[in-house]
Chain A
Amino acid sequence: AQSVSQHNHHVILSEAASLELGCNYSYGGTVNLFWYVQYPGQHLQLLLKYFSGDPLVKGIKGFEAEFIKSKFSFNLRKPSVQWSDTAEYFCAVFSGGYNKLIFGAGTRLAVHP
């Protein structure tokens, strides 16, 4: 079955620490990849997306993600987190072959001042 795995369910960091959240998926073939963020009390919003081209994608608020096709991965990174990055982060993968968008279970990030 198609699946999207986010390895870390909870991450706690101090401000200025570096962040990397893992995302792996189980499909082959062409995929569209997304990271969404849900700040406390707010709705989900798009952080960044990859459809094709440069596998290193830059998003809003200093986030970036790298698509590594051979590893079926799309990890999210930020060099220096801020308290305002406290949120839940969801990886999502659309597979053209299956015509489905599947979300990972999410990673809750808490950044302490």
Chain B
Amino acid sequence: NAGVTQTPKFRVLKTGQSMTLLCAQDMNHEYMYWYRQDPGMGLRLIHYSVGEGTTAKGEVPDGYNVSRLKKQNFLLGLESAAPSQTSVYFCASSYLVLADEQFFGPGTRLTVL
């Protein structure tokens, strides 16, 4: 039981490049989330999904897109990376509802030059 996994762990991009971060969970959770963590600001929700085929905007969605084609996977895309998107990105999942305990992945450290 791997829990929540994320790939890649580290990535450096140039401004304007695109990339996709992959999150996978093997706990059969309905809800999945993408957060970014910036110094002094805690975690901020980018997008989330309440089930396969659904997505919704969080607190800071601009510049990101997501897809949930399979229940166990949640992809975060950056179409045209900007230096302001330099951050640590965490994926999380929860069993049933937004109010439940969330299980986090190990994070992806992204630097945009």
A34, B45: Cα distance in complex, Å:
16
A9, A51, A99: which contacts B40 (Cβ < 8 A)? A9
A44's nearest neighbour on chain B, judged by CB, is B104
A46 contacts B by Cβ under 8 Å: yes
Q: A103, B90: Cβ atoms under 8 Å?
A: no
B43, B44, B101, B107: which contacts A49 (Cβ < 8 A)? B101
Q: Which of A58-107 contact B (CB under 8 A)?
A: 90, 92, 94, 96, 99-101, 103-106
Q: Which of A36, A43, A96 is most buried by chain B, counting CB atoms within 10 A of its CB?
A: A43
A42, A45, A94: which contacts B99 (Cβ < 8 A)? A94
A16, B48: Cα distance in complex, Å:
41
B106 contacts A by Cβ under 8 Å: yes
Interface size on B, residues (CB 8 A): 19
Q: B99, A96: Cβ atoms under 8 Å?
A: yes
Q: How far is the CB of A106 from chain B (nearest CB, A)?
A: 5
Q: Which of A45, A90, A101 is most buried by chain B, counting CB atoms within 10 A of its CB?
A: A101
Q: B42, A105: Cβ atoms under 8 Å?
A: yes
Q: Which of B47-86 contact A (CB under 8 A)?
A: 59
Q: B98, A101: Cβ atoms under 8 Å?
A: yes
A17, B41: Cα distance in complex, Å:
27
B45's nearest neighbour on chain A, judged by CB, is A101
A32 contacts B by Cβ under 8 Å: yes
A49, B103: Cα distance in complex, Å:
13
Known interface pairs A94-B99, A101-B99; A42-B106 also in contact (CB < 8 Å): yes
A45, A49, A99, A106: which contacts B42 (Cβ < 8 A)? A106
Report chain B residues within 8 Å CB of A36.
Answer: 104
Instruction: Name the 4 nearest CB pairs between A and B, nearest first.
Output: A103-B42, A44-B104, A103-B43, A105-B42
**CB pairs A–B below 8 angstroms (6 shown):** A4-B42, A46-B102, A96-B99, A100-B59, A101-B102, A103-B43
